[in-house]
Amino acid sequence: MPVSMDKIVTLTVGEGFHLKRGKDRIAYAGMPSEYVYSIVQIKASGYQGYSWNLYFPRRKQDITIDGVNLYVENVTPEVIRFRVQ
C-alpha cells in the first residue's frame, strides 16, 4: 500500500504557512460569512511585498494557490486544516 506524502497543516486565524520553496506564503483569514472562508496569499520580494484575499465557498475542498494543490479537510471560523498535495 503506497504511503501518502501529503503534509497536513492546521492554521488558526492570522497564522501563516510557506507553501513550498519558490512559492508564496498564505495565512488563514477566517470566515467572513457562514458559507465562505478566506485565505490570504502573500507575495514578498526583498523589502517589498503585497497580498490579497482569496475567497472560497465553504464546500470547496480542492483549491490551488500559486500552483500548489491543497485539499481542505476542515474549516471553521477559527481554524482551517488542509493537506498540501
Predicted pLDDT of residue 47: 81
Structural domain of residue 52, as residue ranges?
Answer: 7-84
Predicted pLDDT of residue 25: 96
* 29 domain-assigned: yes
* 22 domain-assigned: yes
Q: In what order do the strands lie in the sheet with 48-57?
A: 16-18, 25-28, 36-45, 48-57
Cell of 40: 490570504
* 75 domain-assigned: yes
pTM here is 0.88
Which residues, 6+ apart, have CB-to-CB distance to 14 below 8 Å?
27, 28, 29
* 2 domain-assigned: no
Predicted pLDDT of residue 71: 97
Predicted pLDDT of residue 2: 53
* 43 domain-assigned: yes
Predicted pLDDT of residue 6: 80
Number of domains in the chain: 1
Predicted pLDDT of residue 5: 65
* 14 domain-assigned: yes
* 1 domain-assigned: no
Residues of the chain with pLDDT under 70: 1-5
* 19 domain-assigned: yes
